[in-house]
Amino acid sequence: MKTNNFSGPPPEHIAFIMDGNGRWAKKRGLPRTAGHKEGAKVLRRVIRDLDDIGVKYATFYAFSTENWKRSDDEVSALMKLLEDNLDDLVNYEKENIRLRFIGGRERLSEVLQKKMADAEKKSLDHTGMTVTLAINYGGRDDIVRAAKKASELVSEGFLKPDDLDEAAFEKLLQTEDIPPVDLMVRTGGELRISNFLIWQISYAELYFTDTLWCDFSKSDLMKAVDSFSSRNRRFGDAK
Ligand code: FPP
């Protein structure tokens, strides 16, 4: 049963920057990678909580184009976590979730690329929530890739430069088939966007919490959604 007790409708699309795994682990005297493992469990639970409150689209920043700068050990651990647990991380079969991925795949291992493609194919017709994992994703990279596609379409004669408006450009982004972000949540206390979905959050409400991702509970999620529901979204209008 859906448990939506908010003052307004829940956001259709929530994006999450899952920050603070390293600090969570450090506080417990554990390696950073233990924080990512715990973070993966929280991700799975948050997906269930989102479904419960009626959110239709959720996008998670799992690995950014900048995360390659981390130590080899940490990068390998994150990649292994994805390779070994992709099917488990998002319980898409049982929960009727349509799973998709954004980000450049060419730098990922063949094993991971294959698992991603299989999961997308298997879950394509699922009618529940759409969950998008951003892996090797950067907002600027997304825009540059779209600009390249646009220039190819123009040079091949499929697109006239005058027909390239915002709506047409949006369809060339990797998020082509999902609506713009309504609410972006960042855990872990930092107040920045870190190159996540920079086009897609143009009119999103932003919510920052000091809670570390591994401690992010259903009640923290409710607080974020409640805050969203109480805001007056004007989309540039004067009302
Ligand atoms: C940021 O915390 C978190 C990440 C870079 C990875 C997020 C990954 C998960 C939640 C696990 C699920 C996803 C995968 C890839 C399996 P941080 O390490 O920057 O934490 P800190 O700010 O405390 O150092």
- Residues 229, 128, 130, CA angle at the centre, nearest 5°? 70
- 4, 52, 67, 215: the catalytic one is 67
* Catalytic residue flag (residue 19): yes
Token duo for residue 30: 């554990």
Among candidate residues 101, 99, 81, the one with its CA nearest the CA of residue 90:
99
Q: What share of the chain is helix, strand, coil (3-state, %, to 5)?
A: 45, 15, 45
pTM strictly above 0.75? yes
Q: Is residue 62 part of a domain?
A: yes
Q: Is residue 237 part of a domain?
A: no
Model pLDDT for residues 127-146, shown as the tens digit of each residue:
999 999 999 999 999 999 99
Q: What is the CATH number of the domain that holds 42?
A: 3.40.1180.10
Residue 94 φ/ψ, nearest 5 degrees = -75, -30
Q: How far is the CA of 154 from the centre of ligand 1 (A)?
A: 39
Q: Is residue 53 part of a domain?
A: yes
Task: Give the Å distances, CA to CA, from 221 to 39, 72, 99, 111.
Answer: 15, 32, 21, 33
Model pLDDT for residues 71-110, shown as the tens digit of each residue:
999 999 999 999 998 888 888 888 899 999 999 999 999 9
Query: How many structural domains does the chain have?
Result: 1
Model pLDDT for residues 190-202, shown as the tens digit of each residue:
999 999 999 999 9
Domain of 102 in residue numbering reads as: 13-138+181-229
Q: Is residue 94 part of a domain?
A: yes
Nearest-atom number in ligand 1 for the CA of 81 is: 16
Q: Is residue 143 part of a domain?
A: no
Q: Is residue 19 part of a domain?
A: yes
Distance CA 226, CA 230 (A): 6
Within 8 A by CB and 6+ apart from 34, the residues are 25, 28
**Helix boundaries (H) for 124-187:** 139-155, 166-170
Q: Is residue 87 part of a domain?
A: yes
Q: Is residue 236 part of a domain?
A: no
Q: How far is the CA of 40 from the centre of ligand 1 (A)?
A: 9
Token duo for residue 76: 């390998």
